[in-house]
Amino acid sequence: MTQKSKLIKLLAVLFAFTLVTAACGGDDSDDGSASSSDEVTLTAEGGSLLETVQERGTLNCGVSGAAVAFSTLDPQGNMVGFDADYCRAVAAAVLGDADAVNFVSLTAAERFTAVQSGDIDVLMRNTTWTQSRDTDVGMDFGPTTYYDGQQLMGKAADGFSGSSTVADLDGATICTNAGTTTEKNIGDAAEAAGITINLQTYEDFDIVTDNFKSGACDVVTTDGSALVGRKAEQQPDGEEWVIFPGAPISKEPLGPTYGQNDSQWADVVNWTVYATIIADEKGINSGNASGVVGNDAFDAEAQRLMGGEGELQTLMGLSADAFQNVISQVGNYDEIYSRNLNPVGLSRSGSSNAGWTDGGLIYAPPAR
Amino acid sequence: MSEMTSIKTGKRPEEVSRSPSEWIRQNLFSNIPNTILTIIFGIFTLYAIRGILGFVLSGERRWEAVATNMRLLMAQGYPANQFVRVWFTLGCLMVLTGLSLAIWSGKGRLSVKKISNWVMSTGLGLAVFAALAPISASSRLGWVIAGALLIAGGLGLWQRAKNKTTETLHTIPTVPFSFGFLGILVLSLWVVPFGHYAFTNGELVAETGRTVAMSTKLPFTVMWLLLVGTYCLTNLVRESLPIAQAKACLVGLWLLSPFILNWIVLRDPDFDYGHIVSTDIPLAALFIFVGGGILFMLAKPSLGEIGRLTAIALLIFGVFNWVAAFFGWYPMLQKVRISFVLLALAALIAPNFAADRKTRLKFVTGWAILILISHWLITAVNSPSTLELQGPTYLGGFSLTLFVAILTLLLSFPLGVLLALGRTSSMPIARVLCTGYIESIRGVPLITILFFFSNILPLFLPQGMEIAELAAIVTGYTLFSAAYLAENVRGGLQSVMRGQYEAADAIGLTTSQRTGFIVLPQALRVSIPPLVGQAIGVFKETSLVAIIGAYDILRIANNVVPAQTEFLGVKREGLLLVSVIYFIVAFSMSKYSQRLEERVGLGER
């Protein structure tokens, strides 16, 4: 008996050891050599990420996972939202399959490290394009997919209206979430307007909204997109919440982000975004994208983009019908926008995110 | 453990039997200050209960957010068409539980008085609920009647039990009682209209008047049947079973189950059968036969010093393979590297089995089993999963919490014991290494370690080496918690008297025998309270995985559900549910540790 129980104890210890080592090296055991495999190719070491992604067969896309309407998990556990759809668009362009995305959920603190360590290929995590991130942090930014900006929200009963300005906030209690640039922006704006405000910060915006509802905060401030969502979902009956000023107090252009100095990969991501915008301009949507080539109703540029005569996609390292896949599997810019942002009350018309012909900023270079 | 329990012979004195009214008088209103305190705290408690009930039942609460997201909270994005794997896993655990209960013949008995107390307290709880909850008058009456019935039933039970004298009459066996209780819970799923909530194709379905979905109640019923069925069947054949072997078998199964259920059942590896036949099976066979042969030779009693030298040479070779891998000198399968280290470790302990042919053959059989299991698991871990997921990991929600906690505890316990032994050993190198390890890990916050393993480590790994997110989390946690466990165990080691060591030496035990049979059992017995405290800590700290982007249950309740368009800002409901779940698990662990302490007689001798 003692011998046997000793044996069992022994096996247990050895077994635990195996698993620790196996977990540490969950890696190359089945490919024969440790050093010759090229599973992870960092952009800095030459070669484009494009080939790596195509070889791997899935796109590792960094998202937030808890950003209302941009990337959230639905009750079935699917990643949904505006950013998530742009991940799918890139996967459709590169791999021909919008579902070949491995979503990596990242916190604000680790998002750039994840790009640098090669954990993710592209970052779609409502990341604002700033000078320091573009230069100092070592990121490259793609075309802006959503023009956001910091705004304020007050109650109509307190005398606020859509035409209120920062100057009307004198003496008000303003709440926002801690540790973000919103805190600094509102402080700067108040100083510029020469008023004194009482700024209170909370851990997250759910608490901020609760305090606003209960009256502990007169005004709340954060990115306009978040305020609109809160107003649409949480404004009680018989109360009127207003968002102001019309021109946001900060600029927050959000778009895809990737590691720097990989031109080929940058082109692929950028032109995927442009393709959705051009498709919107040309009236191509997920319903008719497959029938564009050879259809005289569409012009030469549209046909080229969808993989017709003289297409340019193969020169980028993609298949000819790459962007046709994007539009038919994910949709054009307007479809992506409407699907995700309309339900929280963000409408395109009249905002910066309208097409350039409608007075907005969404613009793409020509595909020729 | 069985040796220890047998020491405890005499029964504890029977508790004095008191009626509820006597109990209340003696404990709550014995004198004037006591009465004042009872009244003050009674009012305070009622006020708090009223607040909580008002919160839970308020019309503002959107409990459908929790109900709809229940699957997300439990298993995150595990694909619906593969969900049967989750149930299969749970079913396996149920079968194991049923088997263990029958084999260890749960002879515990519950006194009917205790049960009557529970019934009465439930009734009292219902009455308090009815009095304080903001509900309509008619339902209030219903709850009051239900509470009164329960109190009356409990009192009747208590009166009946009081008059019985023999133990068989005023106690009932615990196991069937628990089965019955669980059965009532399962039955309630079929009868009570908890409501039917679903989310299909972006549409929310909420039907409040119905019982829960078939996909919930049917599996739970099957789970209950499996548990009870296995127990009853095993009980029938128990007499004809070799009990000692069955127990050993079950312990092995329990230890293996987390690994097998996770990597084989839940993850569903996509085996490359060509590679398995051409490489994996021959490799395993080679290690089993050649390695087994070497070990058989090394365990020869007459071998002497050569055996030790061979073992050390094997160890150096095993470690060298890893150094070579780091510099990329020559290619070698990771599996082979691991196997060589295992072989070296087995060779080091071979002299312990230096006896007749039968013992040595047993040792070699153990080696074969170890190689089979480890090779199989390594292959399974390294095969890609067949699951089609949209999320980051195949586990999430409460299953991730459990996965990390269980694996961490299983792996860090042996490591922690080894570290504690190393730190108290008389060998300077082991002592310095272990002390350095423990102190440096304890000097670093857990978050830093998790960050390091998930973000920084991939930067240092050689080309082509990747570490999976889950593996990174478990490794980081294990290393962290092992350092703390080691200190708890060291505390226990220091409580073992010097004389015990000397006595062990005096009767000629080897160092490993002294440690294994004399020192560790006493040390671990003393360490139970801090070890369980550490285990509860590990379980609760799993919520820190949210920092590196994994979705544990707390993060889903705190960040994911409130971010869904349908349930924007609905956070408190989920947080309340999560705290209840955390409490149930942590409290069960604490209760179990109390029973364990009682069993080993801690605090009595």
pLDDT score recorded for residue A21: 45
Closest CB to A3 among B202, B359, B388:
B359
Residues A56, A179, single domain; the answer is: no
Residues A55, A138, single domain; the answer is: yes
> Tens digit of pLDDT for each residue in B541-593?
999 888 777 888 998 898 888 888 888 888 888 999 999 999 999 999 998 88
Confidence of residue B17 (pLDDT cuts 50, 70, 90): low
Query: Does A284 fall in a domain?
Result: yes
Please determine, for residue A14, whether its predicted confidence score (pLDDT) is greater than 80: no
DSSP letters spanning B447-475:
HHHHHIIIIIHHHHSPTT----HHHHHHH
DSSP letters spanning B490-555:
HHHHHTS-HHHHHHHHHTT--HHHIIIIIIHHHHHHHHHHHHHHHHHHHHHHGGGGGGGT--BHHH
Other Cβ atoms within 10 Å of A255 Cβ, number: 22
Q: Does B521 touch chain A (CB under 8 A)?
A: no
What average pLDDT does the segment A293-310 reach? 87
The two three-digit tokens of residue B385, written as one number: 């999963």
Please determine, for residue B12, whether its predicted confidence score (pLDDT) is greater than 90: no
B363 vs A7: CB contact, 8 Å cut-off?
A: yes
Please give the span between the terminal C-alpha atoms of chain A, in angstroms, as a whole number: 82
A79-80 and A101-105 strand pairing: unpaired
A259-263, B255-259, B452-456: which is most confident: A259-263
Query: Does A3 fall in a domain?
Result: no
Q: A343: distance to nearest CA of chain B, Å?
A: 7
Please determine, for residue A84, whether its predicted confidence score (pLDDT) is greater than 50: yes
Q: What is d(CA B324, CA B329) in angstroms, rounded to the nearest whole number?
A: 5
Residues A262, A360, single domain; the answer is: yes
Residues A296, A362, single domain; the answer is: yes
pLDDT score recorded for residue B415: 92
Chain A residues whose beta carbon lies within 8 Å of the beta carbon of residue B466: 26-27, 39-40
Please determine, for residue A86, whether its predicted confidence score (pLDDT) is greater than 90: yes
Query: Does A76 fall in a domain?
Result: yes
Confidence of residue A30 (pLDDT cuts 50, 70, 90): very low
What average pLDDT does the segment B137-165 reach? 82
pLDDT score recorded for residue B31: 87
> Tens digit of pLDDT for each residue in A151-162?
999 998 888 888
* Cα four-point dihedral sign A188, A189, A195, A200: negative
Q: How many CB pairs under 8 A join A and B?
A: 243
Point out the domain boundary residue: A226, A244, A262: A244
Residues A125, A176, single domain; the answer is: no
Q: What is d(CA B33, CA A207) in angstroms, rounded to the nearest whole number?
A: 42
> Which residues, 6+ apart, have CB-to-CB distance to A325 below 8 Å?
A92, A93, A96, A97, A98, A319
Residues A199, A267, single domain; the answer is: no
Point out the domain boundary residue: A244, A260, A286: A244
Query: Does A136 fall in a domain?
Result: yes
pLDDT score recorded for residue B141: 86
pLDDT score recorded for residue A15: 52
Q: What is d(CA B288, CA B294) in angstroms, rounded to the nearest whole number?
A: 10
DSSP letters spanning B95-140:
HHHHHHHHHTT---EEEHHHHHHHHHHHHHHHHHHHHHS---HHHH
Picking from A261, A316, A298, A260, the residue whose alpha carbon sits closest to that of residue A51 is A316
Q: List the CATH number of the domain containing A336.
A: 3.40.190.10
Residues A57, A136, single domain; the answer is: yes
Which amino acid, one-letter code, is at B260? I
- ipTM value of the model? 0.76
Picking from B584, B589, B595, B559, the residue whose alpha carbon sits closest to that of residue B574 is B559
Confidence of residue B1 (pLDDT cuts 50, 70, 90): very low
Which amino acid, one-letter code, is at B430? A
| Cis upstream peptide for B392 (omega within 30°) | no
DSSP letters spanning B234-256:
HHHHGGGS-HHHHHHHHHHHHHH
User: Greater confidence, A2 or B132?
Assistant: B132
Q: What is d(CA B52, CA A73) in angstroms, rounded to the nearest whole number?
A: 29
pLDDT averaged over every residue in chain B: 84
pLDDT score recorded for residue A8: 54
Residues A282, A366, single domain; the answer is: yes
pLDDT score recorded for residue A339: 92
Other Cβ atoms within 10 Å of B59 Cβ, number: 6
- Structural domains of chain A, count: 2
Percent of chain B's residues with pLDDT above 70: 92
Please determine, for residue B430, whether its predicted confidence score (pLDDT) is greater than 70: yes
What average pLDDT does the segment A319-337 reach? 93
Closest CB to B248 among A4, A21, A230:
A4
B569 vs A36: CB contact, 8 Å cut-off?
A: no
pLDDT score recorded for residue B226: 93
Q: Cα torsion for B88, B89, B91, B95, to the nearest 10°?
A: 130
Q: Does B452 touch chain A (CB under 8 A)?
A: no
Other Cβ atoms within 10 Å of A49 Cβ, number: 25
B77 vs A229: CB contact, 8 Å cut-off?
A: no
Which amino acid, one-letter code, is at B537? G
- Give one word for B158, left, alpha or beta, with left for phi > 0 and alpha for psi -120 to 50: alpha
Please determine, for residue B137, whether its predicted confidence score (pLDDT) is greater than 90: no
The radius of gyration computed from the CA coordinates of chain B, to the nearest angstrom, equals 28
Diameter of chain B by CA atoms? 87
Please determine, for residue B16, whether its predicted confidence score (pLDDT) is greater than 70: no
Please determine, for residue B463, whether its predicted confidence score (pLDDT) is greater than 60: no
A130, HSE (Cβ side, Cα atoms, 13 Å): 11
Please determine, for residue B594, whether its predicted confidence score (pLDDT) is greater than 50: yes
Chain B residues whose beta carbon lies within 8 Å of the beta carbon of residue A69: 565
- Residue from A97, A105, A338 whose CB has the most chain B CBs within 10 Å, to mutate: A105
Q: What is d(CA B161, CA B164) in angstroms, rounded to the nearest whole number?
A: 5
Point out the domain boundary residue: A244, A273, A288: A244
pLDDT score recorded for residue B166: 60
> Tens digit of pLDDT for each residue in B475-492?
899 999 999 999 999 999
Mean pLDDT lowest for which of A141-150, B195-204, B385-394? Answer: B385-394
Nearest residue of A to residue B465 by CA position?
A: A27
Residues A308, A163, single domain; the answer is: no
A35 vs B199: CB contact, 8 Å cut-off?
A: no
Please determine, for residue B105, whether its predicted confidence score (pLDDT) is greater than 80: no
Query: Does A7 fall in a domain?
Result: no
Closest CB to B335 among A29, A78, A210:
A29
Chain B residues whose beta carbon lies within 8 Å of the beta carbon of residue A104: 392, 549
What average pLDDT does the segment A179-184 reach? 79
Picking from A97, A100, A61, the residue whose alpha carbon sits closest to that of residue A82 is A61
Helices (H), A194-343: 205-214, 224-234, 263-282, 300-305, 322-329, 333-341
Percent of chain B's residues with pLDDT above 90: 23
Residues A265, A236, single domain; the answer is: no
Query: Does A280 fall in a domain?
Result: yes
Residues A295, A317, single domain; the answer is: yes
Q: What is d(CA B564, CA A84) in angstroms, rounded to the nearest whole number?
A: 14
> Tens digit of pLDDT for each residue in B274-291?
888 888 888 899 999 999
Please determine, for residue A354, whether its predicted confidence score (pLDDT) is greater than 80: yes
Mean pLDDT lowest for which of A17-21, A74-78, B283-287, B446-450? Answer: A17-21
> Tens digit of pLDDT for each residue in B112-135?
878 888 888 888 888 888 888 777
pLDDT score recorded for residue B348: 84
Confidence of residue A122 (pLDDT cuts 50, 70, 90): very high
Query: Does A5 fall in a domain?
Result: no
> Tens digit of pLDDT for each residue in B503-536?
999 999 888 888 889 999 999 888 988 999 999 9
pLDDT score recorded for residue B598: 83
| Domains of chain B by start residue, with CATH | 57-78+389-605 (1.10.3720.10), 82-269 (no CATH), 271-383 (no CATH)
Q: Does B594 touch chain A (CB under 8 A)?
A: no
Residues A130, A265, single domain; the answer is: yes
pLDDT score recorded for residue B438: 94
DSSP A139: E
Chain A residues whose beta carbon lies within 8 Å of the beta carbon of residue B413: 16
Confidence of residue A285 (pLDDT cuts 50, 70, 90): very high
Chain A residues whose beta carbon lies within 8 Å of the beta carbon of residue B478: 20
Q: Which domain holds residue A94?
A: 47-148+252-368
Q: Does B437 touch chain A (CB under 8 A)?
A: no
> Tens digit of pLDDT for each residue in A185-225?
898 899 998 899 899 988 778 888 889 988 899 999 988 88
pLDDT score recorded for residue B391: 57
Q: What is d(CA B440, CA B310) in angstroms, rounded to the nearest whole number?
A: 34
pLDDT score recorded for residue A117: 80
The two three-digit tokens of residue B189, written as one number: 């799923």
Query: Does A305 fall in a domain?
Result: yes
> Which residues, 6+ apart, have CB-to-CB distance to B203 below 8 Å?
none
Please determine, for residue A105, whether its predicted confidence score (pLDDT) is greater than 90: no
> Helix (H, G, I), strand (E, B), or coil: what is residue B274?
helix
